[in-house]
Amino acid sequence: MNKLTKIIFKILGIFAAIYGILFAVFYFDLDGKFLFYIWEPMMVKRFDNMKRKDNTLTPYSSKENVSEDF
């Protein structure tokens, strides 16, 4: 019985630590701060430097994709 209680208290201690970490993350909005201050600038830096074709130079025709098999 003594070994079983030690295992149960270890599991409860692990759950308490996880709960404390998650509480701190959401209480102080650390996930939002991470996204705003770290993740978003990395994504802006990466995707703003991508080469893209200019869509204003693409010709537009309304009859381009219409089949005449009616």
Which DSSP symbol is given to 35? Answer: I
Domain boundaries, the chain: 2-50
pLDDT in tens, the chain (70 residues): 899 999 999 999 999 999 999 999 999 999 999 999 999 999 999 888 888 888 888 777 666 555 555 4
Total-model pTM: 0.57
CA dist 28 and 23 (Å) reads 8
CA 15 to chain centre: 25
pLDDT of residue 47: 87
Q: Which two tokens stand for residue 24?
A: 């701190």
